[in-house]
Amino acid sequence: MSAQKDRWVSSLSFLLFCASSIPTQGSARLLQELSPQEYFGSLQAGRASLAYFSPNGSPGAQPFLEQIENSAEALQDYGISVVKVNCPKEDVSRYCGKENSLRKAYLFRGNMLIREFPTDALFDVNSVVANVLFALLFNEVKYVETLADLQNIENALKGRSNMVFAYVPATGTAEHRAVMEAAFVYGTVHQFVLTTEATLLKDAGNDEPDVSSARLLFCHCQRATDLAQPCRRTAMGQALTMLNIHRHLKLMGAPLVTEVAEHPEKVSTVHLQLGLPLVFILSQKETYEADRRTAEFVAWQLLGKAGVALLSRDLVDLNILLRSNVALKTPDEGVPIKYLVLEDTDEVITLVEDKSKVEQIQEEEEEDEQDEDEKENDNQDIQDDQVVEAVSRDKKRELPLEQILVLTEETFHSALLETARTVVLFYASWEAVSLAVLRSYTEVADHLKGTRGVLLSRVNCWDWPGVCTKENVTQFPAIKIYEKGERSVMYDGMWGTEELTSFIMLSRVSCPLKLATIEEAEGYLRGEFPSELSSYHHTSILGVFSTATSEAREAFEEAGNILSGHVTMGMYFEDDALALSRKYAVSPPALLLGRSGGRSVEGIALSKQSAQDVVRMIRYELLDVFPEITVQNLPRYLQLRKPFLILFSDGDIGQMESKEMLKLAKGRPQQAFVACWLNLKRTPVGRGVLKAYFATVPSLPLLVWVNLHAGGQVFKFPSEQTITETNILSWLEKLKAGLEIPSSTLSEEDWKPPLPAYDFLQMMETAVPELPLHTSHRHGDTPARRPPESPGGDTTVREEPPQETKAEKVGSPGRDLRGTAPRLAAREKQGKRHSEL
């Protein structure tokens, strides 16, 4: 970005150089003060000067004179001198004599008076410069008031020259000045037309013009061939400043489509120099003419926003996909060129417009920062933490906390004994994440209203730190579920309403649940038993043990403790356990997994013996083969640390795709990747993911391969191919062989501080330079911080230079024994310290 800024600055200085090279030399002083004779004698033919007449000896109090003086420097750039003519008292000539003329300024070219300006037209530097240039550039800048005038000029220019049409709400404004300054430089190249009539703007193609803001349109009349058609117009999107106008005219002046025969890396055009992206249309010999027309079409759409270049691939050896037809080069250094396969010119335009929108915003922010240091500080104290900000925006709303019992140090222990299960939210009332969770907690309370045997409660650790410490809560928020008089479980799941509700419900049932009969066991696998859970769980896990396998059972029970609340686990070890497991083709010890209401039951032998192994195994078995990925379940799949093959879909996926993907997921060795799909309707943030990958949301459904944990490359499955297992597999082969080029690569950037902190150390040093902050200050080796310096060791007197303090204190002891001998005596004894009073 800084390189881009440099370019800006250099082109601006070039402009100023052009402007300032016009005046002749000899302007040592900006504002000259001359007598009338001197002034009229010095006027050179062709030189413009702005003069005002001031009676000698008058205080010159008129404020407008100040404004003229301030304008001297700006006007000098345009070769216009500013002169204050001191009228002698007795002078009664044309300019000096009349009282009236003293309230005016006069613009001369040579000795010819061009215009007189009443003082009210010259209220500030902008108005002075704008009005003076307006008067001088009478021919270069046409002023129009009616549509007919405008059309006449436009028609006259067709096929000959381009027109710059500007609307300003009023003359003498900063925008007016900018237009005039641009006209000074470009007036010979383009015809400038100015109006203050908003109606003209309306007909100039703006349906709802904002009459309060100035507008500038570039009318491409030079290329216009059809006299009946108005010239094409390109509006300038930015504010009317000298710099923006200059930039716009530069862009308009650049060729519409640049034909290049170099590698895009080496190509540079005025667009890139001005900080705009450059779009390459990648062409081939056979299609060159058609591509050229496409390029021109796109170029018109992007005029002023991006440059368009046409590159024939036959001329340059590009190591890119054959299918790629568009490349995007951004002005930012170090950003690689993106090669894309686009199907529609609209996509090209969206690509650029989205980008420039974001960039424009960033740019504006940066400019703000540069404008004022204050601004920068303002950003620093604006909240950029989404959670904190959301919570503080919500703080006025009263939370429905009636369902949630407030516990205190006194009531905590007794409350735990009253209900079978007490859920306690430990939080801090000042902490944002806690408060965000408290909001979800109220929703949980609403869901569980009327559920017997569960009490929801909360402890504010800011009020009762003792309880929290005793309960081993060191961070907020924390949720613990206490079983009456027994153990407690720390909640370690997602801080969401659904997850928490389900956790509370599931943990009501002991985990694992001991099933007594084979009917219960079967019902359990179908999800019908125990009845209170029928609406909550998805997969039932049943451990089947023969009475002999107590070691495996212990591990299973321990695993149940760990997984309590997250899964439903049952166990069955009656005599007919063998029969039950046989039914599912395993022998005890074994796990039976009843998925989707018992429609499929899977049997797995329990070979592993430690509880941790069982936990790991259950967690793994609970993962779906081809899951719909959501915000809530992604972490479970992330832990596999595999690449993701994601099918993005707007809504449910089609049956065909679903079938093919499932085949793929099941068929492959599962270690290789996570095959999943994402429903943009249910997980809209997926759209953000797509935007990050492709800059725009491509057509859906779309299959994407993401190397999340290795390299971060993103590959897009060719949209012309149908999603079938075979196609995907052959594409994956190509990926593996490195034959495909990634669409993008995930940023490897670290998470740095979003904004700087206040540098208090530096502020201290600037504000109190004598403050010996540097360790170079030697203070001797005494451990005492400073020697006692005044009677009674007044050590709290700080930071004054010690010399002064001492000087002031001399003579102060005994001051109240005024004019007496003790004072004399005391003074002599100054050196001795009295410590004890």
In the structure encoding, which two tokens stand for residue 579, read together? Answer: 């029969």
**Which residues make beta-bridge pairs with 340?**
326
Q: How far is the CB of 450 from other proteins (least distance, A)?
A: 21
Stretch that binds other proteins, among 416-424, 460-468, 514-522, 604-612 (CB under 8 A): 460-468
Binding to other proteins, residues 461-490 (CB under 8 A):
462-466, 474-476
List the one residue from 197, 363, 368, 602 that touches other proteins (CB under 8 A).
368
Q: How far is the CB of 277 from other proteins (least distance, A)?
A: 16
Q: How far is the CB of 436 from other proteins (least distance, A)?
A: 5
Q: What are phi and psi of 116, to 5 degrees?
A: -105, 140
Under 8 Å between Cβ of 198 and 208: no
Establish if 771 lies at the interface with other proteins (CB under 8 A): yes
List the one residue from 131, 196, 325, 440 that touches other proteins (CB under 8 A).
440
Nearer to other proteins, 255 or 787 (CB): 787
Residues 6 or more apart whose CB falls under 8 angstroms from that of 47 comprise 24, 79, 81, 109, 110
- Looking at 650-741, which runs of residues are DSSP E strands? 674-679, 702-706, 713-716
Q: How far is the CB of 400 from other proteins (least distance, A)?
A: 12
Binding to other proteins, residues 385-404 (CB under 8 A):
385-394, 397
Q: How far is the CB of 560 from other proteins (least distance, A)?
A: 18
Classify strands 191-195 and 141-143 as parallel, antiparallel or unpaired.
parallel
List the one residue from 3, 406, 797, 810 that touches other proteins (CB under 8 A).
797
State the burial class of residue 555 (Cβ atoms within 10 Å of its Cβ: 0-12, 13-18, 19+). Answer: buried
d(CA 729, CA 214): 58
- Per the listing, tokens 């060129």 go with 337
Q: How many residues bind other proteins (CB under 8 A)?
A: 147
Nearer to other proteins, 159 or 465 (CB): 465
Taking Cα atoms as reference points, which of 220, 267, 215, 262 lies closest to residue 239? 215
Nearer to other proteins, 221 or 567 (CB): 567
Binding to other proteins, residues 798-817 (CB under 8 A):
798-799, 812-817
List the one residue from 755, 806, 807, 811 that touches other proteins (CB under 8 A).
755
Q: How far is the CB of 757 from other proteins (least distance, A)?
A: 4
Establish if 378 lies at the interface with other proteins (CB under 8 A): yes
Q: How far is the CB of 289 from other proteins (least distance, A)?
A: 27
Binding to other proteins, residues 268-297 (CB under 8 A):
none
Alpha-carbon distance values, 302 to 8, 39, 218 (Å) = 20, 53, 14
List the one residue from 431, 520, 557, 657 that touches other proteins (CB under 8 A).
431
Give the full edge-to-edge strand order of the sheet including 104-109: 31-34, 80-87, 48-55, 104-109, 112-118
List the one residue from 69, 259, 296, 499 that touches other proteins (CB under 8 A).
499
Q: Virtual CA dihedral for 573, 574, 578, 583, nearest 10 degrees? A: -90
Nearer to other proteins, 186 or 427 (CB): 427
Nearer to other proteins, 228 or 784 (CB): 784
In the structure encoding, which two tokens stand for residue 746, read together? Answer: 């995930």
List the one residue from 91, 181, 291, 347 that touches other proteins (CB under 8 A).
347
d(CA 731, CA 59): 87
List the one residue from 99, 289, 317, 748 that touches other proteins (CB under 8 A).
748
Nearer to other proteins, 56 or 812 (CB): 812
The H-or-E segment that residue 427 falls in is strand 421-427
Establish if 302 lies at the interface with other proteins (CB under 8 A): no
Residue type, 692: A
Nearer to other proteins, 90 or 770 (CB): 770
Q: How far is the CB of 315 from other proteins (least distance, A)?
A: 31
Nearer to other proteins, 266 or 818 (CB): 818
Nearer to other proteins, 118 or 466 (CB): 466
Under 8 Å between Cβ of 696 and 351: yes
Nearer to other proteins, 185 or 428 (CB): 428
Binding to other proteins, residues 669-688 (CB under 8 A):
680-681, 683-688
Nearer to other proteins, 125 or 697 (CB): 697
Q: How many CA atoms lie within 13 A of 46 on its CB side?
A: 3
Which letter, b or e, does each residue of 146-174 get, where b requires 16 or more Cβ atoms within 10 Å of its Cβ? Answer: eeebbeebbeebbeeebbbbbbbeebbbb
Binding to other proteins, residues 609-648 (CB under 8 A):
631-632, 634-636, 638-639, 644
Nearer to other proteins, 285 or 395 (CB): 395
Nearer to other proteins, 545 or 693 (CB): 693
Nearer to other proteins, 419 or 440 (CB): 440
Alpha-carbon distance values, 59 to 39, 428, 711, 727 (Å) = 21, 69, 76, 90
Max CA distance (Å), the chain: 132
List the one residue from 110, 453, 788, 811 that touches other proteins (CB under 8 A).
788
Nearer to other proteins, 572 or 644 (CB): 644
State the burial class of residue 328 (Cβ atoms within 10 Å of its Cβ: 0-12, 13-18, 19+). Answer: buried
List the one residue from 320, 494, 578, 604 that touches other proteins (CB under 8 A).
494
List the one residue from 139, 784, 803, 804 that touches other proteins (CB under 8 A).
784
- Per the listing, tokens 């953000």 go with 688
List the one residue from 753, 769, 801, 831 that touches other proteins (CB under 8 A).
753
Binding string to other proteins for residues 692 to 721, with x set by CB under 8 A, is what?
xx--xxxxx-----x-x---x---------
d(CA 492, CA 479): 8
Q: How far is the CB of 506 from other proteins (least distance, A)?
A: 15
In the structure encoding, which two tokens stand for residue 518, read together? Answer: 């084979």
What 210-213 contacts at long range (C-beta under 8 Å, 24+ apart), as own/partner pairs, is: 211/169, 212/169, 213/169, 213/239
